[in-house]
Copies of this chain bind each other. A is one copy, B any other.
Amino acid sequence: MFEVIDFSHSWRGFADDIGHRYTLFVYFIASSKTSTIPGISIAGASPEQTLYTPTLDVEYLVLGKPKTVDVIPITPEGIPTPAIITRSALSLTKASHLVVDCGAFRRPAMPVIALPHAVVGGRIDVENALPEGYGEKLFRDGETLGRALASANSLLIAGESMPGGTTTAMAIMEALGFNAIGRVSSASPSNPTKLKEDVLRKALTRYGREIPVKNVFEAVEVFGDPLHISIAGFVSGAIEKDSKVILAGGTQMCSVLAILKRLGLNLSGRVAIGTTKWIVSDRSSDIVGLVKDIAPEVPIAYTLLSFDDAPFAGLRYYERGYVKEGVGAGGTVVTSQLVWGLPLATVKEVIYREYERIAGLGYVKKS
């Protein structure tokens, strides 16, 4: 059902009491103008539309129907958002869930947790990601939320939706002194590695000083985005209250680990990554190497969910390297297996039924 990569034998300690914990799924969203650089992101039908993707992802996830614009996010090829996976797994567990707005271009038209310093991220090739001071402010916002939502008997699953996120994640890791060029994944089967590196080079030139950047918050303000620093704060607050946390996402989550490690946090036995086999087996990125370099005490659990027998082309594309991860899809499925013991076949059945439903409503093509 799922497999685990576990460098430091910490999985058992992490997983042993998970079944007795109360699970709360928390999906973080933000926009970064970095996603509007042509070629950087296919998480939307056009570069400009990627700004709306986080909002539409979570409206669809929670309400079953987008509200702000009547569109469920698709790639230019028409492949639907991984929120379809998340929504299906979540509906089977009937678990509690929440959305946190760290700086979406449009605030979703439903109840969400608003961070007081939520702000749309700048386009990092030409401008800073965040206003001065906002690196720490967003971290503290996330930390306050993590402390409030956590409890000693809870498991928090943190997912994300922010197009352009692998690019800013790479830039954060590089700025903090970790090798990340060519190691972050992409929603496209042709990872625009060269373009991402160009964006980083421009950001480095703009910055004009040496890296690694000593001050973590400064690094995020120059090279990052509003999302990853908020999630890092959330994890910090949550584990302080003895909660366990699954970071539900791909290589982006390695930037969260990088922030936490540079801040000196101990993650052992408290934090795991939950993702998909599409991420782990991706040859154009290297989540395993990133975790090994940054935080080998963090195990990676990945679901074996596969769409090779999917009756819909829009899902079969996933097997050809499209999408791979997002909106906490992998970690939500892993958790549904880990905590509820849901068979993968059941999850898949519900995903196919959900695809059928949204195809019937005209949001995606049936074949």
Contact = CB atoms under 8 A, between A and B. Distances in A.
A211 interface: no
A142 B154 CA distance: 24
Interface in A139-155: 141-142, 144-145, 148-154
B22 A153 contact: yes
Contacts of A110: 116, 141, 144
A100 B149 CA distance: 13
A108 to B, nearest CB: 8
Interface in A93-149: 94-98, 100, 107-116, 141-142, 144-145, 148-149
Nearest to A22: B22
A149 B113 CA distance: 12
Nearest to A242: B94
A121 B144 CA distance: 28
Contacts of A100: 111
A148 B94 CA distance: 9
Nearest to A21: B22
A4 interface: no
Contacts of A108: 116
A342 interface: no
B113 A148 contact: no
Given A22-B22, A94-B241, A96-B24, A111 B151 contact: no
A94 B62 contact: no
A63 interface: yes
B94 A144 contact: no
Contacts of A97: 148-149
A98 B109 CA distance: 19
Contacts of A94: 151-152, 241
Given A109-B116, A111-B113, A98 B154 contact: no
A62 to B, nearest CB: 6
A22 B152 CA distance: 11
Contact of A111 (B114, B153, B241): B114
Question: Which of A94, A111, A141, A150: most chain B CB closer than 10 A?
Answer: A111
Question: Which of A22, A96, A107, A110: most chain B CB closer than 10 A?
Answer: A96
A110 B96 CA distance: 22
A119 to B, nearest CB: 14
